[in-house]
Amino acid sequence: MQYDLIARPSMTVAKMMLQAGETVTCEVGAMVAMSSGFQVETTSRSKGGAGGFRKGIKRMFSGESYFLNHFTATAPEQMLMVGPSMLGDIMHHSLSGGSLVVQGSSWLASSTGIEIDTTWQGLGKAFFSGESMFWVKCSGTGDLLINSFGAIHEIDVRGEHVVDTGHIVAFEDTLQFDIGKAGSSWIGSFLGGEGLVCKFKGQGKLYVQSHNPPSFGKLLGPKLRPR
């Protein structure tokens, strides 16, 4: 996948150049603009993959759409521009075996070798992680485009790392993820405004976003006039 990320980091869109026969799977509604030489197919399963109905339903639980859009170039040098609905950055991650666990609604596009599935966080984590109940699990070999709210920062974890709830974008499956308190005491953690945090352990890449949608919503919501 040949791609270019433009207008980073706040209004990023991905401009991809596809060769004849090359396919990219995108989130529903992500397409901004494209050349005329594309065949667009909408299904509930990965290109050439299985799953269909069940995987579509699972995807809905993770905050993604039931359907997936597959863009196949029918002529050489076709341009496809995709962008997320929220303001923010896009990053590229290449997978060669293993999986990347992505927070719901952050998956934007991927090449055909990537399987998009959903994975349950576990009850405790689902309640307190500040994310959707389910994660999107991308596995296989190929390229992935992930979007965030605000800028994306990549952290190479070796040992332990702490991220505030709501700031996780994605992490490699080699990282163990737990919910814990921010400070040494429960009272201090909550008075400090951090409350619960996500703790990562192990080795692997972790992507965090500079802003988090729930906090933004809480700040903005009360100021909006009721319709």
Partner 1 sequence: MSQIFSGGVFSSDLSDGRAGVEIELLSSHVCASTAEGDAFVIPYEQCSVEQGGYSGKMLFCRNPDRSITIFSEDPSFLAALDEASRGLLSEQLAAERAKSKRQSRRGSLFVTGIVVGAAILIVLLYYGVRVGADRVTKALPVSLDKQIGKMAYQAMPKEGTEVHDPQLVDPIRGIVSRLAEHAKVEGLDFDLHVVDSPTVNAFCLPGGTMVVYTGLISASESPEQLAAVIAHEMSHATLRHGVSRISQSMGLSAAVSLIIGDSAGLLAAGEEFFRNASINSYSRQQESDADGEGVMMLHKAGIDPSGMPGLFEVLKEEHGEVPEALIWISTHPDHETRIAETKMMIQSLPDKNYDTIDLDWSEIQSRVTNSVEMKSE
Residues that bind partner 1 (CB under 8 A): 94, 96-99, 101, 119, 122-124, 127, 141, 156, 171-177, 201-205
Instruction: Give alpha helix (H) positions in 71-198.
Output: 123-128, 186-191
Which is nearer to partner 1, 164 or 173 (by Cβ)? 173
Residue 100 CB, nearest approach to partner 1 (Å): 10
Residue 97 CB, nearest approach to partner 1 (Å): 2
The size of the chain, in residues, is: 227
Which is nearer to partner 1, 119 or 215 (by Cβ)? 119
Which is nearer to partner 1, 29 or 124 (by Cβ)? 124
Residue 201 CB, nearest approach to partner 1 (Å): 6
The span from the CA of 93 to the CA of 110, in Å, is 9
Beta bridge partners of 197: 164, 180
Which is nearer to partner 1, 13 or 168 (by Cβ)? 168
Residue 144 CB, nearest approach to partner 1 (Å): 13
Q: What is the dihedral of CA 49, 54, 60, 63, to 10 degrees?
A: -60
Which is nearer to partner 1, 15 or 125 (by Cβ)? 125
What letter represents residue 215's amino acid?
S
The span from the CA of 60 to the CA of 113, in Å, is 21
Ramachandran bin of 14, using left for φ above 0, alpha for ψ from -120 to 50, beta for the remaining angles: beta
Residue 99 CB, nearest approach to partner 1 (Å): 8
